[in-house]
Amino acid sequence: MKFVAGLDGGGTKTAVTVADENGQVVKTFTSGAINYNGQDEASVGASLKEIVETIAQICGGVEHCAEMCIGAAGVSNPNVVSKMTSQVRLHGYHGGLHITGDHETALMGAHQRLYGMILIAGTGSIGLGKNEAGLTHRAGGYGHLIDDEGSGYSIGRDLLTALVQAQDGRIPQTIITDMVYKKLAISSVQEIIGFVYDKRTNKKDIAAIAPILSEACSAGDPAALSIAEKSASSLLQLVIPVAETLSLQKSSLAMAGSVLLQNTFVQSKFRELLVGRYPEMECITPKSDASMGGVYMALQRLKEH
């Protein structure tokens, strides 16, 4: 019996699904992040080592895993693909290996087919589509320093912005202030500045503040509702160029990532804006996750070989 593995290398962790050659899921597990944009080389290497070793245990030897598909952030950089390949090989995996963007595996998992659209708003944000002619288009996904609008990172940053602006009177007082202080276990703007500009603080730490938004919106806080609306509007901007370029205005769009799936305010506002723009577009939740999308891609490659 041959096995395949699908990896979804997200911003904070890697989800792994191992299936047999018939597509039956044998085991799922999680490991550390493998994103070279947000992690140092040593920690990515350690995570990949653990992943390969765990796959070997599940398959009764790493040689029984015939295909591995890794969907990861940051792989548009060719150096990242070669680094990741050498790390996987270094830890003893010599089977078929396909490394692609995590948005590609997410699209495959979401629709369980090769075409459709997906909007991902987790730590970062990206829109991706593929039509039946095989053409693809993406919007966004260029990282937190210049992009990631509507994402958990941008919401976290906007919550911190609201806090400092309320502190000096640029906007009215907001419950966001106390909620952020509580979340970070600090009590002054000076400490906020210390946290934000500490070299050890990364985009995940900022994105981790985002869940506060739901609670603040539930309380009817104007600053929070404004942030939710801004996020929804930014996410719609990721869909429009994809739908227009690929003529997918009547296709289905899968919503993925914690911002769209867990924040009901952002999601309902987004749905409202989407219906206004594309009345015939169907909005769905993913049929399966990105690691399963990796499994589907790996199985496809297994059939081709």
pLDDT tens track, the chain, 305 positions: 899 999 999 767 899 999 999 999 999 999 998 988 777 889 999 999 999 999 999 999 999 999 999 999 878 888 889 999 999 999 999 999 999 988 899 999 999 988 999 999 998 999 999 999 999 999 998 989 999 999 999 999 999 999 999 999 999 999 999 999 999 999 999 999 999 999 999 998 999 999 999 999 999 999 999 999 999 999 999 999 999 999 999 999 999 999 999 999 999 999 999 999 999 999 999 999 999 999 999 999 999 98
How far is it, in rounded angstroms, from Cα 62 to Cα 227?
47
Q: Indicate the angle between helix axes 290-304 and 102-111, nearest 10 degrees.
A: 90
The dihedral through the CA atoms of 221, 233, 121, 171 has a sign that is negative
Q: What is the distance between the alpha carbons of residues 288 and 46, in angstroms, rounded to a whole number?
A: 27
pTM value?
0.84
Amino acid at 240: I
Q: Do the Cβ atoms of 258 and 285 come closer than 8 Å?
A: no
Positive or negative: CA dihedral 258, 260, 261, 262: positive
Q: 19: part of which helix (H) or strand (E)?
A: strand 13-20
